[in-house]
Amino acid sequence: MRIGALSEATGASVATIKYYLREGVLHPGVATAVNQSEYDDSHIRRLRLVRALADLGRLGIADIARVLDAVDDPSVQLHDAFGVAQDAMVAERPRDPQRYQAALIEVDRFVKRNRLHIRADAGVRPMLADSLVFLEQFGWGTDSTMFDGFVPPLVQQAAVELASVPESADRAEQMEASVVGTVAFEVAANAIRRMALEDASWRRFGPGRRGRRRATPA
Amino acid sequence: MRIGALSEATGASVATIKYYLREGVLHPGVATAVNQSEYDDSHIRRLRLVRALADLGRLGIADIARVLDAVDDPSVQLHDAFGVAQDAMVAERPRDPQRYQAALIEVDRFVKRNRLHIRADAGVRPMLADSLVFLEQFGWGTDSTMFDGFVPPLVQQAAVELASVPESADRAEQMEASVVGTVAFEVAANAIRRMALEDASWRRFGPGRRGRRRATPA
DNA sequence: CTGCAATGGAGAGTGACACTATCCATACCT
DNA sequence: AGGTATGGATAGTGTCACTCTCCATTGCAG
């Protein structure tokens, strides 16, 4: 398969494929001449993975490159896959150092209290700390115990998701599955959470309790 | 308070505040002269809200403006707050119409099966459909029943979150709380979900089962 | 074997976005 | 009275993810 065919097969323009090649998110094909290379199924799959991370996960190309480096690095153990992939997915944020430090400490307490095995330098810690900072600013308090209720169900979910990663498949496939699963299930979980919120809001504040239902009035 | 003081109080530069004013994400102050306006606490709070939506929720300025329009529109009922706010938070995506349509139908089934009160045109439907499409492409199947297990815990979470929105406060505050809560708890839930995943991965693939622990070898 | 389309590679250009800077005519404040 | 701050408008900046343009090959149909 040459670049034109790869483009046809994936929907990405030739120019975009060249760009991805340049940025290192797509491995080069086998060169058959100075201006000719052969691509295969691995390129189609990789291209799909890149699109998934970009469109669904809203990752930038540079972040995707970092995730894929981990996916392709044979020295990264499977048990680190989720962690490494996720670290590359945490966006840097502008922070208020004061509140942020305090929040980080609170996160540590949260992790310890819930007996979670999380690396000390895992990117998810800052992530949770950031949300704490914002909740605090809007009057939700600083206490991480408000999250404790979320843990058991999410642990259960995680177990279900992990079970979908076949233990028998080869490392590359497992890594890929980890990454896709992390992103896709995150979006799904967010969607369902929002649905639950809309549903709950309807039950609490809905038509039965106050006035009429009015979706988008003129 | 004039613009300089508002800038000091919030950390946003004067230029940025002017920009927000122009883009309509911040309401104008009370003009006391042709080149003088008075700002107050409402501007400080609004500026914080904008930062929360931008930094934590990763919304663009135009999307934020849409969310805030709903927040400020007195004709939007409280019970629609979550829905309307969320609709503005759903990113448009490039889609494969074939798979997407099928996925949307599957989402409808999911909603019905779980007896969720979701508007027919709610933005969360496409959101869940998108994740289904991607999962399908990576071999996870198309059946939305794989999400059913997520529903009860998420419904429970939603109830807890909603309970934090004080019923007595005025509409503006409740709307604001809805929006901040939606975004901040989403980030928090994602962080905890990822922690659960790392924890579960550690337990399943970790040191005890296969070889040594190796975080980032040379 | 000839000519036109396709290719790899490199650099420049584009459009969207979120600011950021500059101007200018007022207005505030000491 | 004069230096600083302000509102308002317009232009400029840096980043990002492409997208376009060239050019020297190479592939392939006729």
> How does pLDDT run across B156-202, given as a tens digit for each residue?
888 888 887 777 678 888 888 888 888 999 999 999 999 999 999 88
Cβ contacts from A onto B, under 8 A: 296
Does the structure show a pLDDT above 50 at A216? no
Tokens of A45: 């799959």
**Residue B11 in this model has a pLDDT that exceeds 50:** yes
Evaluate if pTM is beyond 0.85: yes
Give the distance from CA B38 to its chain's centroid: 31
pLDDT at A215 over 60: no
Tokens representing A150? 């979320």
The residues close to strand C, meaning Cβ under 7 A, are A 2-5, 14, 18, 21-22, 28-29, 31, 34-37; B 13, 15-16, 18-19, 32-36, 54, 60-62
CA dist B167 and B170 (Å) reads 8
* pLDDT for residue B218 is more than 60: no
Q: For residues A18 and A52, is the Cβ–Cβ distance under 8 A? A: no
Q: pLDDT band at A210, cuts 50/70/90? A: very low
Task: Using CB atoms, pick whichever of A158, A190, A192 lies closest to residue B151.
Answer: A192
Whether residue A138 and residue B78 make contact (CB cut-off 8 A), yes or no, is: no
- For the segment A147-174, the average pLDDT, to the nearest whole number, is 83
**pLDDT tier, A208 (very low <50, low <70, confident <90, very high otherwise):** low
What's the confidence (pLDDT) of residue A164? 78
Which of strand C's nucleotides are less than 7 A from any protein C-beta? 6-11, 17-22, 25-28
Q: Which nucleotide is nearest to B12 (CA to C1')?
A: C19
Strand partners, B31: B37
Q: Do B159 and A200 touch (CB under 8 A)?
A: yes
Q: What is the pLDDT of residue B208?
A: 59
At B177 the pLDDT is: 84
The answer on pLDDT for A146 being more than 70 is: yes
Interface contact flag, B79 A215, Cβ < 8 Å: no
Q: Which of B79, B154, B184 sits opposite A131 (nearest CB)?
A: B184
Q: How far does the CA of A11 sit from the C1' of D28, in Å?
A: 25
Higher per-residue pLDDT: A210 or B100:
B100
- C-alpha–C-alpha distance, residues B96 and A56, integer Å: 13
Q: Is the pLDDT of residue A171 over 50?
A: yes
- The helix or strand, by DSSP H or E, that contains position A38, with its residue range, turns out to be strand A36-38
Beta carbons of A165 and A174 less than 8 angstroms apart: yes
pLDDT for residue A213: 44
The pLDDT value recorded for residue B48 is 94
For nucleotide D4, give the residue with the nearest CA to its C1'. B4
Residue–nucleotide distance: B6 CA to D1 C1' (Å): 29
Position A37 pLDDT exceeds 90: yes
pLDDT of residue A80: 77
Q: Which of A48, A131, A176 sits opposite B56 (nearest CB)?
A: A131
Max Cα-Cα span within chain B: 74
Query: Quick check: B209 pLDDT over 90?
Result: no
Q: Among A93, A107, A162, A198, pick the best mutation site for testing chain B contact (most B Cβ within 10 A).
A: A198
